[in-house]
Amino acid sequence: MELFVGRKDELKKLDDLKYFKRACLVVMKGRRRIGKSRLVQEFAKRSKRRFITFNGIASQGNATAQTQRDIFANQLAKNFGVEPTTFTDWYFAFEAVTPHLTQEPTVILFDEISWMGNKDHTFVPKLKLWWDLTLLKYPKLILIFCGSISLWIEKNIVNSTSFFGRITLHIELEELSLSESAAILRHMGFKGSTHDIFKILAVTGGVPWYLEQILPGMLADDNIKRLCFEKGGLFTKEFDIIFHDLFNGQGSIYKKIVQVLAQGMKNLSEIRHLLNYSQSGSLSTLMHSLIIAGYVTQHYAWSLKTGEVGKQSLYRLSDNYIRFFIKYIEPNIAKINNNSFKYSPMHDLAGWESIMGLQVENLLLNNREALVQSLAIAPGDIVADNPYVQRQTLRQKGCQIDYLIQTKTNNLFVCEFKFKKNQIKSDIITEMQEKIDRLSVPHGFGIVPVLFHLSGVSDGVEDQRYFYRIIDITDFLQNDTI
């Protein structure tokens, strides 16, 4: 039996549409491979609704609007068992669906709608016309627009005057949590240790399609080698596919940005400098595109003294696969194509443990809800929480905190992430205290050191009672409510 994991909040929001006594329009955005269409299919199945789907295709070569209409016509013929026809106008294509609609509960999915409509500027107005004149006559119908090119959807659907006031529900689908991702691997039959599971998630993140590429009969290192370090490995090609399909011929500048961010978090001026990008250029627009596409996260700086958000912000490459590709796969692509890693164990690769540690750090930042819950901090008590960088000036030293939580009671939870094979020894306390000593702490604030780890800690660390909490991240893989 195929397992469907997670998405409880999204499924409930979709199910609550039954309380509307009219047709509903839903917009669902989310990065490539995140499981948007699978979620819609699961919702239709659970709610016992008729399910009709149409898919746009990624533009290849000389693909035109007519190409998309022809694909739509072929899918219409397949959906309803009619003869294929040719539509030269999108409105006629949409209206060809109408005779096949009934008053029974129905979901119509327009999947990858941005590919479907980006070659014809009349697509959206004619779709709106079909909605207004026809689909609103079917009160039990739900029309769902899905797409990976979130910028196109934001511009042409969400912020368009054509659909102003017509959207009932807006969903932005994110990665699965650590526990949900582990549940998928276990259901597939993966038998590796929790350390193995974290190594896999360090490369895949919580992206369902990536997780589904794991072979249960192999352990983590063998799966990573097969996908990332063998000639023709699936993950050696995925990066180029992402930037070709999603950014419509502008992939090169987006690639340069993520390559800069793979070196570490940067503010806008630092990115501009490293790219030698013009001051008059639209760099902020490019960054916004990467953020809403789900690959980059913007972290706002804040004042510890006042708790107010500052003007400066840091950009983090938050997608684990892209980080791993840039840091480890791309520099070795020539060797990969020569099968140089065929007989090399992963742990023999230079800097392997270090890169795994950085990947897990990124993974944990993408699952901060679990971090906060493990510390028993009520979300409403948080003033700000993010990775924290204190720039060096004449008056203060520089320091970087993996994750800093400031609460309304003036406590600063200084969190350190450690992912190692060997047990953590007492020198972690010295390392942590050196960071804290460099941090400019406002008068009257409390410092609360926290250690998140996987490898275990020595008795010496426990005995000194330096840390407020020592949390084994293995616990984040467990969730009895899935």
pLDDT in tens, 208-238: 999 999 999 999 999 999 999 999 999 999 9
Measure Cα distances from 295 to 58, 64, 287, 316, 318 in Å: 19, 28, 10, 9, 6
The predicted pLDDT at position 301 comes to 86
The tens digit of pLDDT for each residue in 137-164 reads 999 999 999 988 778 888 899 988 888 8
Give pTM, 2 decimals: 0.90
Residue 66 burial (CB count, 10 A): 13
- Distinct helix (H) and strand (E) counts, the chain: 21, 12
The predicted pLDDT at position 118 comes to 85
Asked if the model's pLDDT at residue 1 lies above 50, the reply is: no
Residue 276 burial (CB count, 10 A): 7
Residue 271 burial (CB count, 10 A): 19
Question: Two tokens at 374?
Answer: 């493990």
The tens digit of pLDDT for each residue in 314-343 reads 999 999 999 999 999 999 999 999 988 888
Question: Two tokens at 473?
Answer: 């991240």
Q: How many residues does the chain have?
A: 482
The predicted pLDDT at position 279 comes to 81
The predicted pLDDT at position 162 comes to 87
Query: What average pLDDT does this structure show over 344-370?
Result: 88
Percent of the chain with pLDDT over 90: 70
Please give the domain boundaries of the chain with CATH numbers for all domains: 8-173 (3.40.50.300), 179-365 (1.10.10.10), 368-477 (3.40.1350.10)
Helix (H, G, I), strand (E, B) or coil at 402: strand
Enumerate the β-bridge partners of residue 450: 415, 469
The predicted pLDDT at position 477 comes to 94
Distance between start and end Cα atoms, the chain: 16
For the chain, what is the largest distance between any 2 Cα atoms, rounded to a whole number of angstroms?
77
The tens digit of pLDDT for each residue in 81-113 reads 999 899 999 999 999 999 999 999 999 999 999
Helix (H, G, I), strand (E, B) or coil at 163: helix
Distance in angstroms (rounded) separating the CA atoms of residues 387 and 301: 9
**Which stretches within 262-413 are classed as H helix?**
268-275, 283-292, 320-324, 333-337, 352-365, 368-374
Measure Cα distances from 74 to 53, 54, 79 in Å: 12, 10, 9
Distance in angstroms (rounded) separating the CA atoms of residues 144 and 363: 30
Distance in angstroms (rounded) separating the CA atoms of residues 383 and 304: 9
CB environment 81-97: b (16+ within 10 A), e (fewer): eeeeeebeebbebbbbb
At how many degrees (to 10) do helices 352-365 and 194-204 cross?
Answer: 80
Please answer whether residues 65 and 115 qualify as being in contact, where contact means their C-beta atoms are separated by less than 8 angstroms.
no
Please answer whether residues 124 and 94 qualify as being in contact, where contact means their C-beta atoms are separated by less than 8 angstroms.
no
Q: Which residues contact 280 (CB under 8 A, 6 or more apart)?
A: none
Distance in angstroms (rounded) separating the CA atoms of residues 239 and 255: 9
The predicted pLDDT at position 269 comes to 92
Helix (H, G, I), strand (E, B) or coil at 274: helix
Per-residue pLDDT band for 248 (boundaries 50, 70, 90) equals low
Distance in angstroms (rounded) separating the CA atoms of residues 325 and 235: 8
**Which stretches within 219-266 are classed as H helix?**
220-228, 234-246, 251-261
Query: What average pLDDT does this structure show over 428-452?
Result: 94
Measure Cα distances from 245 to 155, 224, 239, 369 in Å: 18, 24, 10, 31
Residue 182 burial (CB count, 10 A): 26
H helix or E strand, kind and range, residue 300: strand 296-302
Distance in angstroms (rounded) separating the CA atoms of residues 73 and 63: 15
